[in-house]
A and B are shown apart, each in its own frame.
Chain A
């Protein structure tokens, strides 16, 4: 039994064309699954469905075998355990860095203020930002903000971490400091699903790469296979465009 099982998931926003049209995908424990595909193919939507930020219209999602989609599911509980980091960081601008990290553990998990702060400081030290604990997010660089956002999700001790193009909004020289954290997390065995345009990085860290197209997983496999010998014509032409743009 996979840690996360995604079965024939369908999702349509207002329009007629479904964004997700029968996605099936397994995420095993300790795996890093990379979602790739053209802009607008539904990577963000899929991630948002996994932690219940969006409802799904068909199919099902299971976590540890328990169905976490559909009516009656405690979404607050699901989101407590499935962390997500967004492309645009979304730190709370009215809270200091450390408060950003401790807010949910204190208010949602009921952790003591002191304990929560200690844990946050530990996490901040790991990303070398403990000196910035009492600064406000707007005093931090994009790379620093994104690292804090990752740590904020980690402070909830998630079962699985979803990362939605976490480096797309960053200046090129700030990308590596963020990706390094993801490398560390993989080392520790954190289960992750990441949507990314960083193909080189996907090739390096992915246990499995999934090419999303037309609302389905068009092709999936180990990175070596997908990147060097894609079977599918669409996958090939997508990767070709990426190579032409100098991104692989």
Chain B
């Protein structure tokens, strides 16, 4: 308030203090970066040609008909030449930009930015290309040792159906476990939020449960449940199949994780929402049910899906209690053939079901962030 009254008392007759001059800076030259891009592109082409040569040799040792393979390999190497396009253009532009500095500063800046973009593009693609090459070399090293061990196509096709049908056991386990986890996790979360002094013992037990199962490795939970409970010979437990024990163990473990997801979601709903609901006469549980949980659910879907992805992967652990899931089946095949390609099949199956979910999580997070920026 003091400041504003001073501001209105400015002496307008006095000459204003001169403002400091803005000194335009010329753009920094990117000729160095552009030259590096050309070198990197050249290196990529050379190593591509060399790798193509090694792969062809390796295939020759398999004495396969390799005429069309040659064509394929060398066209991939030729593809590397494309890297020169942005690299050389970038270098030309960088030199042009340096010339422009003395003529038109604005133009020079724009041209420099253009050159930088092109050079970075060339380098980025060259690095990615090099990584793919390295992987190719790894596969064929030692007379295709890696390739044969992990990617024996013949064996993969021969045993694929068997592995895939065993994978159904994994799918069954995680589908049922996910539904149970959703309900069980919510129950635990609500128990951890039980209000008042009367709620304290409930909160304590729920917290102890979560601490226990979050700390316990899933594989140990499965082992204890799967081998331990049948030994007790208790009425219902005695008749359960190993698959059911696996579902039980995973539900107990992931229920603990998911209850934390629910809880953080519930706590992320601003307390003023609770105040508004309570002020209208909603009870504690009505407030949770109609106001807090519906708002929390939308926020927890991404972390929930992440936990589900982990759960799906952890279904591979059930092989420790003898359930014949995809991994166990694949291990049996692997030890019969002294080759791990069937395990590769399982790996691919797991990755395939995970990728769409991972993308969905990314999308949802992105959507939430957009909404957050929009201020709603």
Contacts and interface: CB of A to CB of B under 8 A. Distances in A.
A76 B281 contact: yes
Contacts of B272: 86, 88, 90
A102 to B, nearest CB: 11
B1 A104 contact: no
Interface in B266-296: 272-273, 275-283, 286, 290-291, 294-295
Interface residues of A, number: 27
A194 B291 CA distance: 26
A23 interface: no
Interface string A93-112: 11000000001100111000
A76 B283 contact: yes
Contact of A107 (B1, B279, B282, B294): B282
Nearest to A77: B281
B286 A108 contact: yes
B376 A152 contact: no
Contacts of B277: 92
A79 B94 CA distance: 72
Which of B276, B278, B283, B376 has the most A CB atoms < 10 Å from its CB?
A: B276
B210 to A, nearest CB: 27
Interface in A69-95: 76-77, 79-80, 83-84, 86, 88, 90-94
Nearest to A139: B376
A94 B290 CA distance: 10
A80 B281 contact: yes
A92 B281 contact: no
Contacts of A84: 279
Contact of B280 (A48, A88, A94, A156): A156
Contacts of A76: 278, 281-283
Given A53-B275, A86-B272, A245-B1, A94 B294 contact: yes
A120 interface: no
Contacts of B283: 76
Interface in B1-16: 1
Which of A83, A94, A103, A245 has the most B CB atoms < 10 Å from its CB?
A: A94
B342 to A, nearest CB: 48
A48 B291 CA distance: 20
A94 B295 contact: yes
Contact of B276 (A77, A86, A244): A86
Contacts of A109: 281
A73 B280 CA distance: 16
Interface string A49-81: 001010000000000000000000000110110
Contacts of B286: 107-108
A79 B277 CA distance: 10
A152 B295 contact: no
A138 interface: yes
B295 A93 contact: yes
B256 to A, nearest CB: 27
Contact of B282 (A53, A77, A108, A245): A108
Interface in A217-248: 244-245
Contacts of B273: 90, 92
A138 B290 contact: no
22 contacts: A76-B278, A76-B281, A79-B278, A79-B281, A83-B279, A86-B272, A86-B276, A90-B276, A91-B276, A92-B273, A92-B276, A92-B291, A93-B295, A94-B295, A103-B280, A104-B281, A107-B286, A108-B281, A108-B282, A108-B286, A153-B280, A156-B281
Interface of B: 1, 272-273, 275-283, 286, 290-291, 294-295, 298, 376
Q: Can you list the 7 inter-chain pairs with the closest CB atoms, starting with the nearest?
A: A80-B281, A90-B276, A104-B280, A138-B376, A108-B281, A84-B279, A90-B272
